[in-house]
C-alpha cells in the first residue's frame, strides 16, 4: 500500500486489497535516520509501568521512565536452542523480565553492557516467535504484552515550541525528533509485530491482552515525531485491524476522534498521514452498498481534513482516500466536490494547486448526472483559478482540459459551462503575464470553438456587449467627476 502512494505521485493508483505496510529496513536492527519532515502536536502522556522491583530514577530516552536494575539483575541467559523444549517457556519469561528494564539513552556511555544484553535478548525473543518453535502459553503472552507496554507506552517529548514557549513554526519547516532509545524500541515493535502476524497467535486468546485500552495507547503514539516509529505503528495497527475483527469499529471510531481534535482544536499531529494510509486500504475493502456510517465519516472527518493549514503534509494520502470513496460509490462525487469548494483556499496558492490535482482525480470518477449537480459552482471556482496571478494555479486549472473524461463532461454541458468561464479565458488572452498560461488558454479557447461555433460566437457577442457597457459606465463616471470638479472650481472662484 505504501508503495502505491510512492509510485502514484499526483495520479490515481491501481486498486489493491493489500493490508501490509512493511517499514523500511525492518529486522535489520538498525534504521537509518530519516529526513522526513513531520508535523508536531501536544503530547498526551501514556506512561507504562516500571520494570520488576524497579525504582524510577528520572526521565530519559525521549520520555521513557528509566528503571535502573539492581546489581547483577541483568545477566545474559542461555539461548533457547541450548535448553530442553520443556524449559523454553520459563526461559522466555526470564528473558521478558530482563527486557522490562529501561535505560537512559541520552548518555551513550551509561550501562553499555546492560543495554547490549537487553538488545541481544530482544533479538532472541523475536527469533523464537518468528521460528514458530511452539505455541506460547497464555501466561507468557500476558507477560510479553506487559513488557511491550512498559517499553513503548511513554510520555512523548514536548515539541520545541511547547518546550520553550516561543511561537510555533511551520510544521513543514521543523526537523523531526529522533527517539534516542530506538535501538531497543525498534526491536520491541518488531517483537509485537511478529506476535500479531504469527499463525500461532490465537486471536481469541490474544484479544484479552491486545484490548481496546492497548489499541488506544498505540493510537496515541502516532503523534511521535520519529518517522521510523510511526512506520512500525502503522504496520502493527493495520495488522491488528486485519486480524482482530472485533476491534475494527473501535479503531475506526478512535481514528475519527483523533481527526476531530486535529481539525477543530490543535491542527498539529505527526501521524495524520500514516493514519490516512491505513484508512486508504480499509476504504478499499468496504462492501457495497456502503454503510451510512462510512458516508458520515467521509463528510464529517475526511472532507474537513482539507481545512487545516498543514494539509500539504498528508494531502496525497487524503486525496487517495477521497477518490476511493467516489470510485466505490459514484453518487458521492457531488458531496465530495461541494466539500472541496467549501474548504477551497483563498490566499494559499500551493494549497490551491493541491486541490486542483485532487479535483481532477475526483472528476475522473464522476458520472454525468453527479457532474451536472455541481458544475455551476465548480466552474465559477475554476474561472477564478484561471485568472489567478500565480501562474501555477492558472496552469493547473488549464491542465483539466488535458483529461479526456473531463473534456467529455464539459462538452456534454458546454451550454452551461462556456458562459461561466468565457470571460476568464478572454482576460487571460488579453492580459495574463505568463506566456505558458497564455498559450494554454488559447488552446482551451480553440477547443470550445471547435465544440460549438454558434455557442462560442454567442458568448463572444455577450462578452463584447458587457465590455462595451462597462466602458460606457466608466466614461459616464469620469464625466460626472469632471463636472463635479468644474462646479467645485466655480464655487471656489466665487468665494
- Three-state secondary structure readout of 38-69: CCCCCCCCCCCCCCCCCCEEEEECCCEEEECC
pLDDT, one tens digit per residue, over 214-247 is: 999 999 999 999 999 999 999 999 999 999 999 9
% of the chain exceeding 90 in pLDDT: 69
Q: Is the pLDDT reported for residue 336 higher than 90?
A: yes
User: Which residue did the predictor score with more confidence, 495 or 228?
Assistant: 228
51, pLDDT greater than 60: no
In this predicted model, what pLDDT tens digit does every residue of 411-470 receive, in sequence order? 999 999 999 999 999 999 999 999 999 999 999 999 999 999 999 999 999 999 999 999
Q: Residues 6 or more apart from 32 whose CB is under 8 A from it?
A: 25
pLDDT at 76: 81
The predicted structure's pLDDT at residue 46: 37
Closest CA to 60 of 14, 101, 18, 13: 101
Predicted pLDDT of residue 137: 85
Long-range contacts of 411-415 (CB under 8 A, 24+ apart): 411/451, 412/368, 413/368, 413/371, 413/372, 413/375, 414/448, 414/451, 414/452, 414/455, 415/452, 415/455
More confident residue, 50 or 208: 208
Give residues with Cβ within 8 angstroms of 373, minimum separation 6. Answer: 334
Is the pLDDT assigned to residue 31 strictly greater than 50? no
**Quick check: 311 pLDDT over 60?**
yes
- pTM (predicted TM-score): 0.81
Torsion of CA 107, 31, 45, 36, to 10 degrees: 110
Mean pLDDT for the stretch of residues 62-66: 39
Q: Considering only 125-139, 241-255, 371-385, 387-401, which range has the smallest mean pLDDT?
A: 125-139
pLDDT at residue 340 greater than cutoff 60:
yes
Cell matching residue 170: 511551520
Q: Where are the domains of the chain?
A: 461-495
Helix (H) or strand (E) holding 408: helix 404-412
Amino acid at each position: 500500500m505504501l508503495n502505491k502512494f510512492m509510485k502514484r505521485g499526483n495520479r490515481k493508483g491501481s486498486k489493491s486489497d493489500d493490508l501490509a505496510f512493511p517499514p523500511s529496513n525492518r529486522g535489520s536492527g538498525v534504521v537509518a535516520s530519516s529526513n522526513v519532515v513531520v508535523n508536531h502536536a501536544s503530547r498526551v502522556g501514556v506512561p507504562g509501568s516500571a520494570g520488576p522491583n524497579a525504582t524510577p530514577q528520572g526521565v530519559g530516552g525521549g520520555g521513557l521512565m528509566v528503571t535502573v536494575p539492581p546489581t547483577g539483575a541483568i545477566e545474559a541467559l542461555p539461548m533457547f536452542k541450548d535448553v530442553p523444549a520443556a524449559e523454553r517457556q520459563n526461559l522466555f519469561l526470564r528473558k521478558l523480565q530482563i527486557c522490562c528494564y529501561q535505560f537512559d539513552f541520552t548518555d551513550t556511555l551509561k550501562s553499555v553492557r546492560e543495554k547490549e544484553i537487553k538488545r541481544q535478548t530482544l533479538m532472541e525473543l523475536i527469533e523464537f516467535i518468528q521460528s514458530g518453535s511452539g505455541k506460547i502459553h497464555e501466561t507468557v503472552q500476558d507477560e510479553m504484552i506487559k513488557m511491550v507496554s512498559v517499553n513503548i507506552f511513554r510520555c512523548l517529548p514536548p515539541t520545541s515550541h511547547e518546550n520553550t514557549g516561543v511561537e510555533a513554526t511551520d510544521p513543514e519547516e521543523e526537523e523531526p525528533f529522533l527517539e534516542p532509545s530506538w535501538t531497543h524500541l525498534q526491536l520491541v515493535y518488531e517483537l509485537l509485530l511478529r506476535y500479531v502476524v504469527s499463525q500461532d497467535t490465537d486471536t481469541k486468546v490474544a484479544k484479552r491482552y491486545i484490548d481496546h485500552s492497548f489499541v488506544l495507547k498505540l493510537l496515541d503514539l502516532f503523534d511521535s515525531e520519529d518517522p521510523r516509529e510511526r512506520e512500525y505503528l502503522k504496520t502493527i495497527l493495520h495488522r491488528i485491524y486485519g486480524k482482530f475483527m472485533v476491534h475494527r469499529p473501535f479503531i475506526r471510531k478512535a481514528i475519527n476522534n483523533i481527526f476531530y481534535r486535529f481539525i477543530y482544536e490543535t491542527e498539529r499531529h505527526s501521524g495524520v498521514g500514516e493514519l490516512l494510509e491505513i484508512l486508504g486500504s480499509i476504504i478499499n475493502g468496504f462492501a457495497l452498498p456502503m454503510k451510512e456510517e462510512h458516508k458520515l465519516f467521509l463528510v464529517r472527518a475526511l472532507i474537513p481534513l482539507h481545512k487545516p493549514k498543514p494539509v500539504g503534509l498528508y494531502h496525497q494520502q487524503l486525496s487517495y482516500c477521497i477518490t476511493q470513496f467516489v470510485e466505490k460509490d459514484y453518487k458521492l462525487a457531488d458531496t465530495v466536490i461541494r466539500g472541496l469548494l467549501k474548504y477551497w483556499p483563498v490566499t494559499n496558492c500551493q494549497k490551491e494547486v493541491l486541490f486542483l490535482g485532487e479535483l481532477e482525480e475526483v472528476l475522473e470518477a464522476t458520472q454525468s448526472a453527479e457532474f451536472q449537480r455541481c458544475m455551476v459552482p465548480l466552474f465559477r471556482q475554476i474561472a477564478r483559478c484561471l485568472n489567478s496571478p500565480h501562474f501555477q494555479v492558472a496552469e493547473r486549472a488549464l491542465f483539466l482540459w488535458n483529461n479526456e473524461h473531463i473534456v467529455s463532461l464539459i462538452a456534454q454541458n458546454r451550454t452551461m459551462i462556456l458562459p461561466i468561464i468565457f470571460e476568464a479565458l478572454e482576460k487571460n488572452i488579453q492580459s495574463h503575464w505568463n506566456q505558458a498560461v497564455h498559450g494554454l488558454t488559447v488552446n482551451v479557447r480553440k477547443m470550445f470553438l471547435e465544440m460549438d461555433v454558434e455557442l462560442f460566437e454567442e458568448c463572444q457577442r455577450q462578452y463584447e456587449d458587457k465590455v462595451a457597457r462597462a466602458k460606457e459606465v466608466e466614461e459616464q463616471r469620469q464625466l460626472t467627476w469632471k463636472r463635479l470638479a468644474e462646479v467645485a472650481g466655480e464655487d471656489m472662484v466665487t468665494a
